[in-house]
A and B are shown apart, each in its own frame.
Chain A
């Protein structure tokens, strides 16, 4: 039978595709090591059996148990901290959203003088190094009685989440094509209808992304909580900090790390379908 001749460019393309395939496999393996290995070590440390220490020269722990988890839930402040963390985060997110919505609308839909300047100004909580903000905001807070105060913490967390929410919502508002709005206006839509039928559905994905980022920013916020909240209020990160710092104990730190990290990663994978992390890029791609 006559053999079909494969054109040269096909061979090159095929070779390139194989090369790319090898690269993809390589990157995925690197990623598994890069991300998976550190996480595996944390899981192991959280499962160390107190009767069989994990120490030199063992590569892996010889026995596993849940005793470390039991210990952390029984004796540390983790339950109180979980309560604090997960009540501040939603409150701060809602508060941030309420404040951000009108501002983002104006920034996204109206052209006015000083708009660019304000768009940079709203990045200040990110530009200002966290500890400086924390330390001197705590002085301001203690003058107005918000130091060591739950509402003060919600305010502080909103401040840190605000740039994300504002920037992402602004980008979403900017992206709405003017002709849709014009068309609606021609059809006699009132402001309320316009908002309800056009703006809200169209910024919804951005709102979703903004909410997630604000929520996560609040969950992992450390500096402000450490200075303004502790010792009265502890969140999961401040507990983790103590187990990594003056009270360094790997097993406890491992448990608290996992408690802090697992919901976040779950959120990433559950939200992946709806959440475009690209929103973050679009919002911060230009300062």
Chain B
């Protein structure tokens, strides 16, 4: 009996060692030195991939289903709030093998993620067509240098959305906007910059116009206190018009309030507008434009985690998302603009010329973080 037990234990131990050894070997695969074909076959071997996103479920699920059919790789798309996903990633950071493979990344999570070094890479040159993706977004996202770790998936743009039945002459310049807000009290809405990019777009525009332009912040990686010293001018103005404006709690809530007829002019993302139009939660007559004064736009990227259990399959899925056909389908499904610059999408609420002419880039991340916090203190608490 004892002998049996001993043999059993030894076998178990040996098995464990073998298993651990085998696992280690698998981890040491270096995808950067592999050819794309080798990565594809490695991906098929892995046979599984998990992708996290916080919006646009219609597209990611469709894409994943088709991806699974094409390669025979089981795919899972999980829709979750960006912050919750980032917290999970950070909690799993030190594990050898995590549970998340690839994530869509945007907003302040870009800085958090890059700073914490959670991404595998650089990967942008591993995937085919990596060089055809928007070079601006491929180097700088939300003012953060992404160093090839993050792959652009789509671009999007903020603008002003209005109800043409009630607004005949939408404002185009800063002075026109100021005058419009004063002339139409409680008809202009923007979202709390802490809760959505469309609100950040508006606050950034206000800061740009009232404190001497946005050029001086370009390229900064740390906050320069001297440059924000006169931001009180922006806060004073926002306070002055606070009674005449409506502040909402999310990008979509602004659109909802327009649909309800509560307001007639709002700041919105182009892709959010398209999704709401498609769902029947925004009237079809709504019109979107980028005012001549300029409104920021950017885009979101995807990255593979350092401890992803299925790295090759993640790379393959990200590559799949950047294929020409799929970029066009994505654009038709959720309205986000293509990250590829060599092809054109059909579905666009905003013409390319308007994007080029009036779209501006985001202020660097430390300044954005600063104005989000200062907005609470100087506008909402007043």
Name the segment of A32-40, A43-51, A98-106, A258-266 touching the other chain.
A43-51
Q: In the complex, are the beta carbons of B259 and A231 less than 8 A apart?
A: no
Q: In the complex, are the beta carbons of B261 and A75 less than 8 A apart?
A: no
CB within 8 Å of B: which A43-101 residues: 48-57, 67-68, 71, 74-77
Assess whether B357 is interfacial by the CB under 8 Å rule. Answer: no
Q: Which residues of B are in contact with A by a Cβ distance under 8 Å?
A: 52, 54-55, 57-58, 61-62, 78-81, 84-85, 88, 91, 99, 163, 195-196, 249-250, 252-253, 256, 259-261, 276-284
Q: In the complex, are the beta carbons of A50 and B280 less than 8 A apart?
A: yes
Please give the distance in Å from B90's CB to the nearest CB on chain A.
12
Which of A48, A57, A142, A242 lies in contact with B79, CB distance below 8 A? Answer: A242
Q: In the complex, are the beta carbons of B99 and A232 less than 8 A apart?
A: yes
Query: A74-B61, A142-B91, A242-B81 are contacts. A50–B278 as well, Cβ < 8 Å?
Result: yes
Residue of A nearest to B275 (CB): A249
Which of B88, B196, B259, B284 lies in contact with A148, CB distance below 8 A? Answer: B88
Residue of B nearest to A252 (CB): B279
Contacts of B249 in A (CB 8 A): 245, 248
Contacts of A48 in B (CB 8 A): 279-281
Q: In the complex, are the beta carbons of A55 and B283 less than 8 A apart?
A: yes
Query: A75-B58, A77-B78, A247-B55 are contacts. A53–B256 as well, Cβ < 8 Å?
Result: no
Inter-chain CA distance A137–B238, complex, in Å, is: 41
Please give the distance in Å from A53's CB to the nearest CB on chain B.
4
What are 20 A-B residue pairs whose CB atoms fall within 8 Å in the complex?
A50-B278, A50-B279, A53-B277, A53-B282, A53-B283, A53-B284, A55-B260, A56-B259, A56-B283, A77-B57, A77-B78, A142-B91, A147-B91, A148-B99, A234-B80, A242-B80, A245-B249, A246-B195, A246-B250, A248-B256
Q: In the complex, are the beta carbons of B99 and A245 less than 8 A apart?
A: no
Query: A76-B79, A148-B88 are contacts. A49–B280 as well, Cβ < 8 Å?
Result: yes
Assess whether A230 is interfacial by the CB under 8 Å rule. Answer: yes
CB within 8 Å of B: which A119-148 residues: 142, 147-148
Residue of A nearest to B254 (CB): A248
Which of A75, A231, A234, A249 lies in contact with B252, CB distance below 8 A? Answer: A249
Count of residues in A whose CB is under 8 Å from the partner chain: 33
Inter-chain CA distance A148–B283, complex, in Å, is: 40
Contacts of A74 in B (CB 8 A): 61
Contacts of B261 in A (CB 8 A): 55-57
Residue of B nearest to A230 (CB): B84
Contacts of A142 in B (CB 8 A): 91
Query: A55-B261, A142-B91 are contacts. A251–B281 as well, Cβ < 8 Å?
Result: yes
Which of A52, A71, A232, A249 lies in contact with B276, CB distance below 8 A? Answer: A249
Inter-chain CA distance A172–B152, complex, in Å, is: 62
Contacts of A252 in B (CB 8 A): 279
Q: In the complex, are the beta carbons of A231 and B88 less than 8 A apart?
A: yes
Which of B55, B84, B280, B283 lies in contact with A231, CB distance below 8 A? Answer: B84
Residue of A nearest to B58 (CB): A75
Residue of A nearest to B79 (CB): A77
Contacts of B54 in A (CB 8 A): 246-247
Contacts of B85 in A (CB 8 A): 231
Assess whether A250 is interfacial by the CB under 8 Å rule. Answer: yes
Inter-chain CA distance A33–B373, complex, in Å, is: 43
Which of A49, A148, A231 lies in contact with B78, CB distance below 8 A? Answer: A231
Please give the distance in Å from B259's CB to the nearest CB on chain A.
4
User: Which of B79, B250, B253, B277 gathers most chain A CB within 10 Å?
Assistant: B79
Please give the distance in Å from B264's CB to the nearest CB on chain A.
10
Q: In the complex, are the beta carbons of B57 and A76 less than 8 A apart?
A: yes
Contacts of A54 in B (CB 8 A): 280-281
Inter-chain CA distance A242–B281, complex, in Å, is: 17
Inter-chain CA distance A148–B78, complex, in Å, is: 14
Known contacts A50-B280, A142-B91, A245-B250; can you find 6 more A-B pairs with CB under 8 A? A48-B280, A56-B261, A75-B61, A242-B79, A247-B55, A248-B250
Contacts of B88 in A (CB 8 A): 148, 231-232
Inter-chain CA distance A49–B58, complex, in Å, is: 17
Top 3 closest A-B pairs, CB basis? Answer: A56-B261, A231-B80, A50-B280
Residue of A nearest to B99 (CB): A232
Inter-chain CA distance A57–B61, complex, in Å, is: 34
Inter-chain CA distance A246–B53, complex, in Å, is: 13
Residue of B nearest to A246 (CB): B250
Q: In the complex, are the beta carbons of B79 and A250 less than 8 A apart?
A: no
Q: In the complex, are the beta carbons of B91 and A251 less than 8 A apart?
A: no
Inter-chain CA distance A246–B54, complex, in Å, is: 9
Inter-chain CA distance A242–B78, complex, in Å, is: 13
Contacts of B91 in A (CB 8 A): 142, 147-148
Contacts of A49 in B (CB 8 A): 280
Contacts of A242 in B (CB 8 A): 79-81
Inter-chain CA distance A133–B79, complex, in Å, is: 25
Contacts of B276 in A (CB 8 A): 249
Contacts of A245 in B (CB 8 A): 81, 249-250
Residue of A nearest to B56 (CB): A75
Q: In the complex, are the beta carbons of A56 and B260 less than 8 A apart?
A: yes
Query: A56-B261, A231-B78 are contacts. A249–B84 as well, Cβ < 8 Å?
Result: no
Please give the distance in Å from B49's CB to the nearest CB on chain A.
16
Which of B61, B78, B279, B283 lies in contact with A249, CB distance below 8 A? Answer: B279
Which of A51, A53, A57, A246 lies in contact with B281, CB distance below 8 A? Answer: A53
Query: A231-B78, A246-B81 are contacts. A53–B58 as well, Cβ < 8 Å?
Result: no
Q: In the complex, are the beta carbons of B280 and A230 less than 8 A apart?
A: no
Contacts of B256 in A (CB 8 A): 248, 250
Residue of A nearest to B57 (CB): A75
Query: A49-B280, A53-B284, A248-B253 are contacts. A231–B61 as well, Cβ < 8 Å?
Result: no
Please give the distance in Å from B269's CB to the nearest CB on chain A.
13
Q: In the complex, are the beta carbons of A231 and B52 less than 8 A apart?
A: yes
Inter-chain CA distance A25–B278, complex, in Å, is: 43
